[in-house]
Amino acid sequence: MTKKLLLSAALLASTLSHAEHSKEDIKLEHNKHAHTVHWSYEGEGAPENWAKIDKKFFMCKEGENQSPIDLKGFTESELPPITFNYKLVSTEILDNGHTEQVNVKEDSSITVDEIVFDLKQFHFHTPSENNINGKSFPLEAHFVHASKDGELAVVAVMFEEGVENEALKELWSVMPTEVGKHQAIDAKHLDSLLPKERDYYRFNGSLTTPPCTEGVRWLVMKKPVSLSKEQIETFKKVMHLHNNRPIQPTNARMILK
């Protein structure tokens, strides 16, 4: 049965809690709305129809800084290192109908532009949503962060076929295969989801799912990490279909490296 694919950033709704009328509350109201509207990656609910499904999804068609993109034509820049303060301790892995989402305990964050962004969860797309110099990857992880003011930052990690990934071995071993099911997990090797070298590309983009809100900081790790062919096939089998939005126009954006 084809899974209904929902909004990536809407996953924040179950983990964020802020004062009434905050910027984050406003964004989450949009995200909750997206949960109730059927859209997908194929058929009548496919990406080319997202803006037609609901008027609140207008940015999916009219936005000028949409994600994902093909990262190329780079602009050289002195990008400061991302300060990772990750204590990657998972609490559960959830099949939410569009991906496998890993919820984590609090106290993991990154610092970018002197702003602290708290890690809320991470999840996966197959094949990769972003490309690098025209190259697609079999899997992409998105580490979703939010600041106290409701700004969003996504750290994207590409996976390429190679040796088995220890973190995915742990996660896939208890990965739910039914929508709505979740499994408590205490993974020990989640650091292997991140490359040891943390050089990155940066661009200004959007959510890759309705309502396609813009103003998201995208931080794409240059170095991919590996996973085995079997791990690729396991995830594809659970998803039943590709859960990636097509590449969007770069337009006038600069892609920094």
Distances 53 to 33, 34, 40 between C-alpha atoms, Å: 12, 10, 11
State the catalytic residue, choosing from 98, 123, 125, 142.
Answer: 98
Torsion angle, alpha carbons of 71, 205, 112, 160, to 10: -40
Return d(Cα 220, Cα 227) in angstroms, integer.
18
DSSP string across 66-118:
-S--EE-S-B---PPPPEEE----EEEEEE-SSSEEEEE-S--EEEETTEEEE
Q: Which helix (H) or strand (E) holds 61?
A: helix 59-62
Indicate if 142 belongs to the active site. no
Distances 236 to 67, 74, 243 between C-alpha atoms, Å: 22, 31, 9
* Residue 54 burial class via C-beta count within 10 angstroms: exposed 0-12, middle 13-18, buried 19 and up: middle
The residues that are catalytic are: 98
